[in-house]
Amino acid sequence: MNQTINISATATVATIDIEGTIGSVEQGEAVSTYQELKERLAQIEALETPVVVVNIRSVGGDVADALLIYEALLSLDAHITTRCYGYTASAATIIAQAANEGCREISDSALYLIHNSSCVAEGNATDLKQQAELLSKTDERIAAIYSAHSGKEVSFFRELMARNGGDGEWLTAEQALEAGLVDVIVKPNTSVVSSLVERVAQWLGLRPKKSETVTPPTARVNMSNRPLHCTSITLSEGQSAVKPSMTKAVEDPDIQGTALSANAEAYNRDVAAFR
């Protein structure tokens, strides 16, 4: 999965979506997530946006880039909320810590992983010993960041990271909250979701339209456990941050292709219009 950083902003709120592999490699050439984010942050700072929301769906990547993104977010003169969706793991969890107090959010269906840092190394005994020392210092630094934002001891996170031979352990949203890695579990309002699904079904002609004019609802999550100083989250915003994983094209496509009926073509056009 390649890295993706998208930013949208109004006069009051800027949204940063971080997906894919942090510091990924494309076509044999290293791509710096931080460099891309740095350019976007410059745009946000120019807008003097008072609120920044960071949506994260990433299984991690380069620790150095993640540390730089974390520090760049902390340097912003803005209120920051981080929101984790799907799989949030490894280096991505470092970025997730860069929120204001009480504003590290996680979807109730997400999974969260912290573990010891790793690398690929070669060389003589001295080279490998130096690399091992660097990894140990990196683990200490990462644990210190978790500790600073949770109030728990560094040793607590070192033990959690070292489980399963250093591979860590996948945590549910509830377990991540108990460990102090997040502050709020976001649960969708199912009644509003059902209403939204019904409206989409009407648009696609799968349900008869009601006589009255229906305005598509603005869906919001259950706010009962959210700190009052955190920004609200809309369902559509959360869904936009959770996109399907990228897959390779089919290797052996049908040469003849499949002819679509007029109804099928019209359906595809309608679906594309709602994306």
Give the residue from 219, 216, 245, 250 showing the smallest Cα distance to 233: 219
Q: What is the pLDDT of residue 142?
A: 96
Asked if pLDDT for residue 162 goes beyond 90, the answer is yes
Contact (Cβ atoms closer than 8 angstroms) between residue 168 and residue 115: yes
Asked if pLDDT for residue 214 goes beyond 90, the answer is no
Phi-psi region of 166 (alpha: psi -120 to 50; beta: other; left: phi over 0): left
CB atoms within 10 A of CB 211: 6
Q: What is the dihedral of CA 74, 78, 81, 84, to 10 degrees?
A: -50
pTM of the model: 0.67
Tokens 């040469």 label which residue? 255
Q: What is the pLDDT of residue 205?
A: 58
Greater pLDDT, 161 or 38: 161
Q: What is the pLDDT of residue 247?
A: 43
> pLDDT tens-digit profile of 14-70?
899 998 888 755 545 555 666 776 777 777 777 678 999 999 999 998 898 899 889
| Amino acid at position 45, single letter | E
Indicate the fold that domain 4-187+222-244 takes in CATH: 2-enoyl-CoA Hydratase; Chain A, domain 1 (3.90.226)
The residue ranges of every structural domain in the chain are 4-187+222-244
DSSP state of 220: B
> pLDDT tens-digit profile of 105-152?
999 999 999 999 988 888 899 988 998 999 999 999 999 999 999 999
